Amino acid sequence: MSENIYVIGNWKMNKHLHEVTDFFDQFNISLHDMFASDNSANIEIGVAPAAIHLPQLSDATNFSLVAQNIASEENGAYTGEISASMVAEYSRYVLVGHSERRMFFNESNDILIKKIMLAYKYNLIPIFCFGENLENREKGDYLSIIKQQIEKVIFPVFSSSVFLNQTLIVAYEPVWAIGTGKHASPEQISEVHDYARNLLIDNIGNIKGSVPILYGGSCNSQNAKSILEQKNVNGLLIGGASLDVDHFTKIIQIAHGLS
């Protein structure tokens, strides 16, 4: 089992600079108070702001920065892209394979493999997202979809021993639960996380440490505890509820209480 509980906020394309500043003025005080009373907690907090705000936050101490994206090419004539090496100057983690990137930017498995390899090259820890859509869920073939998503991206990366010393984090994010207010039930989450855990152990069991498996999809302060209590849930990836500093802090407090 992984030791840390991860609480990662994904802000997507939200917040202007003054809102980012306001958020962190309050957030830093809340985290400082929380950890002043108990700094032994095994909790890793991450925030993924828009890339343009990463430099602004690079002196963060109580939490880590997460990039929402990196380019799949290393450098060169790719107008508008931001490379892994540029992002790595500020960020510790990077999201790879988020369903919005797969859906709206047509990111294929080959692109995701390239991004993970570039992340490792520049010492970023990838958080690889996978999850079925509503149709797969209703048809009942979601586990085979999840298997394909993991085996087509993660297994090729770790098929050689080059990356076995690297850290990998994965996040189960059922597409039907993202931004819908309809989170997966603890039983549904448990089934997929247990399945993913076994798949990873059977196929890349020789990777360094155990792979944290996060859940994402309409997490909030009401459902965080019951989700985090599931055996193979090692943290949360939070969209909407991470935009509000009070709400996000409340979820962190819940995780802190369980860590």
Q: Does 178 bind ligand PEP (CB under 6 A)?
A: yes
Q: Using CB under 6 A, which of the segments 14-22, 119-127, 206-214, 232-240 binds ligand PEP?
A: 232-240
Q: Is 183 a catalytic residue?
A: no
Kindly tell me which residue out of 240, 249, 251, 252 binds ligand PEP, with binding defined by CB under 6 A: 240
Torsion, Cα 192 156 103 193, to 10 degrees, reads 10
Does residue 217 belong to the site contacting ligand PEP (CB under 6 A)? Answer: yes
Distance separating alpha carbons of residues 232 and 98, to the nearest angstrom: 20
**How many CB atoms are located within 10 Å of the residue 75 CB?**
11
Residue choice 89, 139, 179, 182 for contact with ligand PEP (CB under 6 A): 179
Tell me if 219 contacts ligand PEP by CB under 6 A. Answer: yes
Q: Binding string to ligand PEP for residues 9 to 28, with x set by CB under 6 A, is what? A: -x------------------
124 and 67 Cβ atoms separated by less than 8 Å: yes
Structure-block tokens of residue 16: 């202007």
Instruction: Say how many C-beta atoms besides its own lie within 10 A of residue 37's C-beta.
Output: 8
Which of 127/204 has CB closer to ligand PEP?
127
H, E, C per residue of 183-244: CCCHHHHHHHHHHHHHHHHHHHCCCCCCCCEEEECCCCCCCHHHHHCCCCCCEEEECHHHCC
Among 218, 223, 230, 232, binds ligand PEP (CB under 6 A): 218
> Is 96 an interacting residue with respect to ligand PEP (CB under 6 A)?
no
Q: Which residue has the tokens 């493999």?
A: 113
Least Å from the CB of residue 252 to ligand PEP = 14
Regarding 238 and contact with ligand PEP (CB under 6 A), the answer is yes
Q: Which of 44, 107, 132, 173 binds ligand PEP (CB under 6 A)?
A: 173
Tell me, yes or no, if 191 is annotated catalytic.
no
Q: Does 69 bind ligand PEP (CB under 6 A)?
A: no
